[in-house]
Amino acid sequence: MTLDFSVLHTALPRMIEAAGTTILISVLAMVIGIAGGLVIMLLRIAPNRVVSLAALSYVEAIRNVPLILLVYWGYYVLPILLDLRLSAFACGLIALSLVVSAYTAEIFRAGVRSIRPRQYDAALALGMSKAQMYRRVIIPQAASRVLPILASVWVSLFKDTSLVSVIGVHELAYVSLEIRSSTFRVLEILSTMALIYWCIGYPQAKLVDRLHRKYGAKE
């Protein structure tokens, strides 16, 4: 079995471009997911029991089903439900954003709850208003605790974008597999694909470690 890496001349630029799509999807899904997560967290801690229960059900439902199935569902079912025509990109983005929002909702909730109650008292005793208390005391502390975990969510998200390849989104996995089947250079293309993912993913993983060390809850 001979290896022929010359195919990379034409393949590599396409794969790098597809990697850009992967990053784009990840960034968009992260932003939308965090925004959604904040909303869901607020619904979770709402005084209305129906609302908080609905939000809890949403979170538990998303967290206990395979993401790849959500991708399929978003592609085949959601357009029918909403009576809309959606591109594969949009469907994949929706599925990913739903998952990110479910996880970040819980992360934000835990982050806020982890602040000792007496921190609230101390702030109020100084004469701060509730808004000032949140802005100056609670949110900064919660943010530093939440940051490393959000970084972990990002790393997972980046990897999970590979799953939207199954509905034909032209990100790195899909493009690589396509090139493989058209050139039959399996080992060369697949190993290059893995290497590209690894090169982007490995520094991110190390960065997450550094964030955990720096911001890990110390009390």
Partner 1 sequence: MVDFMTDLSVVYDNWRYLGGGLLVTVCLWVSAVVLVTISGILLAVARTYGPPWLVRIVAFYVDTMRSTPLLVIMVLAYFALPLAVGVTIPAFPAALLALTLEASAYACEIARAGISSIRAGQMSAGLALGMSKAQIIRKVILPQALIRVLPPYGTLVAGIGKNTAVASVIAVPDFLQQSTVLSSQTFQPTEIFTSALVIYFILIFPVTRMIDLLYRKVERLGRS
Query: Long-range pairs for 194-203 at CB < 8 Å and ≥24 separation?
Result: 196/15, 196/16, 196/19, 196/172, 197/159, 197/162, 197/172, 200/19, 200/23, 200/158, 201/155, 201/158, 201/159
Contacting partner 1 (CB under 8 A), which of 67, 124, 139, 147? 67
Contacting partner 1 (CB under 8 A), which of 13, 60, 135, 143? 60
Decide if residue 184 touches partner 1 (CB under 8 A): no
Give how many residues touch partner 1 by CB under 8 A: 43
Q: How far is CA 158 from CA 1, 16, 206, in A?
A: 33, 15, 14
Among positions 185-204, residues that touch partner 1 (CB under 8 A) are 186-187, 190-191, 193-194, 197-198, 200-202, 204
CB closer to partner 1, 50 vs 80: 80
Q: What's the min distance (Å) between Cβ of 22 and partner 1?
A: 10
Q: What's the min distance (Å) between Cβ of 36 and partner 1?
A: 19
CB closer to partner 1, 146 vs 189: 189
Buried b (16+ CB within 10 A) or exposed e, 84-121: eeeebbbbbbbbbbbbbbbbbbbbbbebbeebeeeebe
Decide if residue 160 touches partner 1 (CB under 8 A): yes
Contacting partner 1 (CB under 8 A), which of 121, 205, 210, 214? 205
Residue 140 CB burial class (10 angstroms; 0-12, 13-18, ≥19): exposed
Is residue 79 within 8 Å of 85, Cβ to Cβ?
Answer: yes
CB closer to partner 1, 143 vs 202: 202
Q: Which residues bind partner 1 (CB under 8 A)?
A: 1, 60-61, 64-70, 72-73, 76-77, 80-83, 155, 159-163, 165-166, 173, 177, 180, 186-187, 190-191, 193-194, 197-198, 200-202, 204-206
